[in-house]
Homo-oligomer: A and B are copies of this chain.
Amino acid sequence: MTAAAAGDVHEEMLNRRVILKRYVTGFPSEDDMEVVTGTARLAVPTGSTAVVLRNLYVSCDPYMRGRMTKHEDPTYVPDFVPGEVLTAFGVSKVVASGHPGFAVGDLVWGMTGWEEYTLVPNPALFFKINHPEIPLSYYTGVLGMPGMTAYVGLFHVAKPKKGEYVFVSAASGAVGQIVGQLAKLTGCYVVGSAGSDEKVNLLKTKFGFDEAFNYKKEADLNAALKRHFPEGIDIYFENVGGAMLDSVLLNMRLRGRIPVCGLISQYNLEQPEGPRNLFCVITKRLRMEGFIVTDHFGEYHKFEEEMAGYLKEGKITYIEDVAEGLEKAPAALIGLYTGRNVGKQLVKVANE
């Protein structure tokens, strides 16, 4: 038993944390969150299997908006609680452990808090990091939840074949950039959309997309898709919803697949926009299928090895947008919904 696990008296550390101030309606603002300072003990309760984590990086992900609203019946992830710390995926170092599977000094990733130190009563859902030679922050993205989301949505749901036409929206984001590159590795023709010329340029020059366009500059999304996909789209990796989905439906090919990963254009609307062109689902025999990456976490270490290999071989490139310090976390999260981030948005909490 380590000293930290013994439950002895330990120094109390200051613990800065980001809390939700109130449930959100419509577009969130920084003022809906607050950075406060509490304290943390670097020890676990005697006899428990808890761990204490020192958080190094925490993630900003679009799905977090849903947790800022109170749901009667949350389906896949609990709502945040006003006054309590926001939780999110992050990369952490174990600083105290009562759990036989985790030792002080271990590097892990999993659902932690937007704070400096987090007491995790049951760390069973954390993954140990097997490739610390790769930047640790990558475990909030390409080697973590978003990377595996891309992998699962593309290979388990869409099931691409060589030569197929793939369209990715929000294509420079945490998930989109990986989807496009995995589809290229599969031998597909890949086009992405993004919300700035800088992002479009990245897609073409850095991520190896065949083509890309700035959806904000297209007066007619249907025409833009017809221009880029004269033969139509076999797979649409759906990250945004709304008008883009409606135009995509018109441009799908027979037996096309639409893995539904996210609908970021809709998250801050009080009344979502439904796709009016749903009849195309019938006439084109389309399959739209939603998925949640956590259902597939049993395969994580297989994914980790495969993706770590692609990164080391230079087959997958990855871009992050790092906010420095927890104070910047609220603005970084909100920036996802205006498209301010370039690449995967995360927050650096502490030096490694």
- Chain A interface (Cβ < 8 Å from any Cβ of B): 66, 75-76, 241, 246, 254, 260-263, 266, 271-292, 295
Chain B residue with Cβ nearest A256: B290
Q: What are some 22 contacts across the A-B interface (CB < 8 A)?
A: A75-B280, A75-B283, A241-B278, A246-B274, A260-B278, A262-B282, A263-B279, A263-B282, A271-B276, A272-B279, A273-B276, A274-B274, A274-B278, A275-B275, A281-B288, A282-B291, A282-B292, A283-B290, A285-B290, A286-B289, A287-B288, A289-B289
Assess the B281–A292 pair: CB atoms within 8 A: no
Q: Is the interface of A mostly helix, strand, loop or mixed?
A: loop
Assess the A277–B288 pair: CB atoms within 8 A: no
Known: A288-B288, A288-B289. A276 touches B272 (CB 8 A): yes
Closest-CB distance, A331 to chain B (whole angstroms) = 25
Assess the A291–B285 pair: CB atoms within 8 A: yes
Using A263-B282, A266-B278, A287-B289 as known contacts, list a sample of 14 further A-B pairs with CB atoms less than 8 Å apart, ordered by residue number in A. A75-B280, A75-B283, A260-B282, A263-B279, A266-B279, A272-B278, A274-B274, A274-B275, A274-B277, A282-B291, A283-B292, A285-B290, A285-B295, A287-B287
What is the CA–CA distance of A281 and B274 in the complex, to the nearest angstrom? 12
What is the CA–CA distance of A289 and B287 in the complex, to the nearest angstrom? 4
| B-chain residues with CB within 8 Å of residue A288 when the two chains form the complex | 281, 287-289
